[in-house]
């Protein structure tokens, strides 16, 4: 981690640190070929398949995309907020916190998401109506809908995986940097807030980026408990129109586009992070 | 890369050294013991560092130099004994298992902001630029205003020859540059005493000089410093007191001239012989 190159090379190093890749043209041969192939495929699909249903279903598709996106965003944000204490408890917590945290992460990572979702929705969810106290409370408005179960399950799933990631990231922050904070009079909480957490977060970022993209691909499971996300809309289209390929191709295109946007966002955040492999 | 011209600290400091007895004690250790499990590393160390003193701690590897230095700011908690900073005793107590621990977190956090520690491995915060490293403690621990902290940080970075690198992250700097930045970070709290733990041991030989230049500069302005070092010629040059540790005890201490030219104990003679 310590760079000891001679001084003259350092402007070069600083240059490397910048994310921009100026100088090299985007138009490389392999890119041109891929571009041509994909344009041809799209034209082929457009010419040989039926797309008239798009007009009718367009508003629903938009609503579906919106649902998928907020399911993703909310579950990531809430899940990460849970992952931080889950990781921290395992690294630095007393045993009565560390063990349950580890148990939770192991349980979540060891069982299929679909199973968790169904257990909560068809299992726990069917118990709630039998409890009068819940039926009378404001919670009932939510508990009788499907989306809270989807959001909750996606959240704890993300928390389970990222709790493990954050455990590693917290543990990997060099001890000396924490010691420096302590030596300058930081309280344990300030040390966590200013040094340990941001440092661990930046370390975890490349992994988190990948996991967020995985999480997008988990959201369609919500459709199995009647949450009509974009997958749910397309499934409806297929039932109504008896079309096989066109709606699915279109769905693939939507997920590709969403993934592309996520990749770009992750890249923007990552490029602001100074340290790679440190 | 701008670097300070080396002043002649010995000449500047000579006047200050004569009046040792009159000056205020900044760091006092009284009969400090430290054990790691069965291993007793410090076996009763007493020392006093006065305002303006540059104290060099020398000794063989494993003699307890780092442990001693780290007992001053309680990165290691002495098993017994007393540590005072500016006359204020750091409160220690025994927990249920008979181990000693900090009695009052607040007190030690306050005292630590008076002690500027510089580590062998720099320990700069890698997720912050050099300037952010330097303003971090003034703003977030000492509660100073951001623009003031930035102004002071830039002046300090200028002083250690790193003003141009202020927006660079540590990972892109040489070891010598990182260590100079770490010194700027320590200076930013305007400490009563600087604690150096072998500040040049992790550096390539050609980078040692630039760091020693900065430390020499601090000595010449009369900063109180305690310096663990293997650089004997540097210790002789900047220190006005040298403490020789052997197996957790102060074997001999005195002025550099006495220690290096007229060592009394046989162990010190052998140690100095082995260095030459
Ligand atoms: N945290 C620790 N746990 C157990 N033993 C330790 C610990 N820190 C230091 N020691 C032991 O204490 C002894 C003195 O260590 P210390 O680091 O103070 O020596 P030193 O004089 O600084 O040596 P060096 O010149 O190699 O840095 C060594 O034997 C070391 O192994
Ligand atoms: Mg040491």
Residue A7 lies inside a defined structural domain of this protein: no
Chain A touched by B69 (CB under 8 Å): no
- Side-chain-side CA neighbours of residue A2 (13 Å): 17
B25 in Cβ contact with B84 (< 8 Å): yes
Q: How far is the CA of B2 from the centre of ligand 2 (A)?
A: 30
Ligand nearest to the CA of B40: 1
Q: Do A183 and B75 touch (CB under 8 A)?
A: yes
Q: Which pLDDT band, with edges at 50, 70 and 90, does B255 fall under? A: very high
Contacts with B92 (C-beta within 8 Å, 6 or more apart), sequence order: B77, B78, B100, B101, B102, B103
* pLDDT given at position A208: 92
Contacts with A213 (C-beta within 8 Å, 6 or more apart), sequence order: A259, A262, A263, A266
- Residue B18: pLDDT above 60? no
Q: Between vectors from CA A210 to CA A205 and to CA A214, what angle results, nearest 5°? A: 140
Residue A152 lies inside a defined structural domain of this protein: yes
- Residue B101: pLDDT above 70? yes
Residue A138 lies inside a defined structural domain of this protein: yes
- CA-to-CA dists, residue B25 to A57, A95, B48, B70, B198, angstroms: 82, 44, 6, 18, 23
When mean pLDDT is compared over A265-274, B8-17, B137-146, B202-211, the highest value belongs to B137-146
Distance CA A227, CA B60 (A): 70
- Residue B6: pLDDT above 60? no
Q: Which pLDDT band, with edges at 50, 70 and 90, does B97 fall under? A: confident
More confident residue, B97 or A182: A182
* pLDDT given at position A47: 84
Residue A159 lies inside a defined structural domain of this protein: yes
Residue A68 lies inside a defined structural domain of this protein: yes
Tell me the pairing of strands B193-197 and B225-228: parallel
The CA distance from B268 to the nearest CA of chain A, in Å, is 31
- Residue B61: pLDDT above 80? yes
The CA distance from B129 to the nearest CA of chain A, in Å, is 8
A222 in Cβ contact with A154 (< 8 Å): yes
CATH of the domain at A91: 1.10.3720.10
Site to probe by mutation for ligand 1, drawn from B43, B66, B75, B250 as the one with most ligand atoms within 8 Å of Cβ, is B66
Site to probe by mutation for ligand 1, drawn from B33, B36, B200 as the one with most ligand atoms within 8 Å of Cβ, is B36
Tell me the pairing of strands B80-85 and B88-89: antiparallel
* pLDDT given at position A252: 92
- For the record, the structure tokens of A47 come out as 């010419």
Residue A112 lies inside a defined structural domain of this protein: yes
Distance CA B171, CA A266 (A): 22
Q: Whose CA is nearest to atom 18 of ligand 1?
A: B64
Closest partner residue to B113 among A179, A180, A184, by Cβ? A184
Cα R_g (chain B), whole angstroms: 19
Chain B touched by A176 (CB under 8 Å): yes
* pLDDT given at position A131: 84
Q: How far is the CA of B196 from the centre of ligand 2 (A)?
A: 10
Find the mean pLDDT for residues B259-268: 92
Residue A192 lies inside a defined structural domain of this protein: yes
Give helix A53-92 / helix A147-172 axis angle, nearest 10°: 40
pLDDT along chain A (278 residues), means of 10: 39 43 74 90 85 90 94 96 96 94 95 94 86 82 88 96 96 96 96 95 90 94 90 91 89 93 89 61
With a pLDDT cut of 90, the percent of chain B lying above it is 87
E strands within chain B?
25-36, 39-50, 54-59, 80-85, 88-89, 92-94, 100-102, 115-118, 193-197, 225-228, 241-246, 249-254
Q: Containing domain of residue A112, as a range?
A: 52-271
A221-255 exposure pattern, b = at least 16 Cβ within 10 A, e = fewer: bbbebebbbbbbbbbbbbeeeebeebbebbbeebb
- Residue B131: pLDDT above 90? yes
- Residue B136: pLDDT above 70? yes
Residue A165 three-state SS: helix
- For the record, the structure tokens of A102 come out as 């580890």
Mean pLDDT over each residue of chain B, to the nearest integer: 90
Residue A84 lies inside a defined structural domain of this protein: yes
- Counting the structural domains of chain A, the total is 1
- Residue B217: pLDDT above 80? yes
B125 in Cβ contact with B116 (< 8 Å): no
* pLDDT given at position A274: 63
């Amino acid at each position: 981690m310590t760079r000891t190159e001679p001084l003259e090379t350092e402007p070069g190093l600083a240059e490397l640190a910048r994310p921009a890749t100026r100088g090299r043209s985007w138009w490389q041969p392999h890119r041109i070929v891929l571009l041509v192939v994909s344009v041809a495929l799209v034209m082929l699909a457009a010419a040989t398949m039926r797309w008239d249903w798009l007009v009718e279903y367009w508003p629903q598709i938009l609503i579906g995309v919106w649902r998928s996106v907020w399911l993703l965003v909310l579950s990531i944000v809430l899940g990460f907020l849970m992952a931080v204490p889950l990781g921290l408890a395992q690294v630095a917590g007393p045993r009565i916190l560390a063990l349950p945290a580890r148990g939770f992460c192991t349980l979540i990572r060891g069982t299929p998401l679909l199973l968790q979702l169904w257990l909560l929705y068809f299992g726990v969810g069917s118990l709630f109506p039998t409890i009068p106290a819940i039926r009378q409370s404001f919670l009932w408005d939510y508990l009788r809908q499907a989306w809270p179960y989807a959001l909750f399950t996606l959240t704890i799933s993300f928390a389970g995986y990222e709790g493990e990631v954050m455990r590693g990231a917290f543990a990997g922050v060099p001890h000396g940097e924490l010691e420096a904070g302590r030596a300058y009079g930081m309280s344990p909480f300030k040390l966590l807030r200013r040094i340990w957490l941001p440092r661990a977060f930046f370390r975890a970022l490349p992994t988190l980026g990948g996991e967020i993209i995985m999480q997008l691909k988990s959201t369609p499971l919500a459709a199995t408990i009647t949450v009509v996300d974009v997958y749910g809309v397309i499934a409806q289209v297929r039932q109504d129109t008896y079309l096989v390929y066109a709606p699915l191709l279109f769905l693939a295109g939507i997920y590709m586009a969403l993934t592309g946007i996520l990749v770009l966002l992750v890249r923007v955040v990552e490029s602001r992070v100074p340290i790679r492999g440190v | 890369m701008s670097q300070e011209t080396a002043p002649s600290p010995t000449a500047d400091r000579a006047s200050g050294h004569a009046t040792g007895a009159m000056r205020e004690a900044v760091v006092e250790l009284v009969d400090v013991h430290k054990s790691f499990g069965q291993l007793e590393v410090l076996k009763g160390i007493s020392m006093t560092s006065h305002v303006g003193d540059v104290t060099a701690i020398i000794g063989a590897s494993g003699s307890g130099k780092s442990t001693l230095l780290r007992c001053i700011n309680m990165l290691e908690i002495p098993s017994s004994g007393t540590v005072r900073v500016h006359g204020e005793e750091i409160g220690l107590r025994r927990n249920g298992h008979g181990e000693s621990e900090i009695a009052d977190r607040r007190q030690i956090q306050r005292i630590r902001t008076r002690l500027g520690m510089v580590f062998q491995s720099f320990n700069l915060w890698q997720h912050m630029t050099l300037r952010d490293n330097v303003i971090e403690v003034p703003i977030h621990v000492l509660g100073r205003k951001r623009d003031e902290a930035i102004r002071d940080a830039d002046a300090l970075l200028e002083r250690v020859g790193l003003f141009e690198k202020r927006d660079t992250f540590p990972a892109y700097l040489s070891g010598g540059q990182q260590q100079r930045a770490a010194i700027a970070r320590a200076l930013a709290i305007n400490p009563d005493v600087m604690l150096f733990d072998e500040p040049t041991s992790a550096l390539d030989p050609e980078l040692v000089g630039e760091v020693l230049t900065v430390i020499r500069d601090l000595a010449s302005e009369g900063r109180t410093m305690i310096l663990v070092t293997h650089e004997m010629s540097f210790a002789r040059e900047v220190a006005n007191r040298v403490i020789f540790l052997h197996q957790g005890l102060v074997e001999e201490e005195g002025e550099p001239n006495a220690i290096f030219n007229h060592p009394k104990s046989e162990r010190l003679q052998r140690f100095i012989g082995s260095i030459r």
